[in-house]
Amino acid sequence: MAGSERIFLQAIRRYCAGHGIAVEIRSGGWLIAMRRGATCRFAFGYDIGLNSAIAHRLANDKSAAGEALSLAQVPCVPHHLFLNPSLGVHVAGTAWHDAMLALLAQNPQGVVVKPNEGTSGRAVFKVTNRNELDRAMTEVFSSSLGLVIAPYVEIEDEVRVILLEGRPMIVYRKERPSVTGDGVHTLHELATAAGHGRQLRELEARETKNVLAKGERRILNWRHNLDAGAEPVLMDDGEVRAACVKLAADAASAIGITFASIDVVRVDGAWRVLEINSGVMMEALAKLHPELVHATYDAALDRVFGED
């Protein structure tokens, strides 16, 4: 088995080997056929095949998911949809740019621009002025049919809840990279020594030259994405975990999704849903807790093949 093979694929191979299920890999590992007798089930990308088509589409569409959650009165971060103008005025309309500028004006703290579909924090931009908005818009529209604009909010905490049929399988915080000052070294020196040098590109150059006061903690990235350097930290039982699970379960119920990872954030002391992901990706978590990841995929595959 190749060391670079995705944990998702490794988990499927291992499960199928133990249950007499033949596995056939196509499309460079992104399409997986699982056969047992006359039964054939497919996994695609990180979607294991438990979710309905409409639930999958709602989850993968940030704007539609937000609308569905609002209809169900589930607290969420709003995502305003803008279609690529290359689709034509009959689809994208003519006032889309003015509407973008209006949203920016309504949110003086800034907005976040990102593809309407997609994960891992790619092509996600924090925007505070028109020039930044136009650059972000151009970048996202170069590879996406639609983008969403959400108000920038100071996220105090972000938690991912992985649910299977409403049951929390894994709950973890996304802990962003940070350094603590010693009153001697600059932010650049502290981050480099801690192995967070690549995070400095998120900051202005003059800021990295500042000496941090002793005991001062500085978070290096405004994004909580695991691909952006955040670390998954499992949560213990308690009120906070219970609140996150309850909110995630309400969100899953609102769109009728069976197996999903749901990101919830705390803003001004209140929890709300940020995103729902139909494809359950646990590559970063598997480096720390492989047994937990395999157990979760095993439980999902039991449902796929009708096991108890």
Query: Is the pLDDT reported for residue 3 higher than 60?
Result: no
The residue count for the chain: 308
pTM for the whole structure: 0.84
pLDDT score, position 201: 66
Of residues 200 and 128, the one with the higher pLDDT is 128
Backbone angles phi, psi at 67, to 5 degrees: -65, -45
Torsion, CA 157, CA 163, CA 167, CA 173, rounded to 10: -20
Q: What is the pLDDT of residue 228?
A: 58
Average pLDDT across the chain, whole number: 89
CA angle 76, 59, 175 (to 5 degrees): 60
Q: Quote the pLDDT of residue 213.
A: 78
pLDDT tens figures, 82-106: 999 999 989 988 899 999 999 999 9
Contact yes or no for 296/282 (Cβ under 8 A): yes
Q: So what's the pLDDT on residue 60?
A: 92
Residue 157: pLDDT above 70?
A: yes
Task: Name the percent of the chain lying above pLDDT 70.
Answer: 88
Position 2 pLDDT exceeds 60: no
Whole-number pLDDT of residue 1? 44
d(CA 89, CA 239) in angstroms, rounded, equals: 49
Q: At 277, phi and psi to the nearest 5?
A: -120, 120
For residue range 194-208, list pLDDT tens digits in order. 666 666 666 666 666
d(CA 183, CA 96): 48
Q: What is the model's pLDDT at position 79?
A: 96
Measured CA to CA, the distance from residue 125 to residue 111 in angstroms comes to 8
Give the integer Cα–Cα distance in Å for 279 and 230: 19
How do residues 168-224 score in pLDDT, each as one tens digit? 999 999 887 767 777 777 777 777 776 666 666 666 666 667 777 787 777 666 665
pLDDT band at 119 (very low <50, low <70, confident <90, very high): low
When computed from its CA atoms, the radius of gyration of the chain, rounded to whole angstroms, is 21
Domains of the chain, first to last: 51-76+155-176+221-308 (3.30.470.20), 78-152 (3.30.1490.20), 179-219 (no CATH)
Query: What is d(CA 219, CA 14) in angstroms, rounded to the nearest whole number?
Result: 39
- Per-residue model confidence (pLDDT) at position 163: 98
At 151, the pLDDT band (50, 70, 90 cuts) reads very high
Whether the per-residue pLDDT at 135 is higher than 80: the answer is yes
Q: Do 198 and 229 meet the contact criterion of CB atoms below 8 Å apart?
A: yes
- What percent of the chain is predicted at pLDDT more than 90? 70
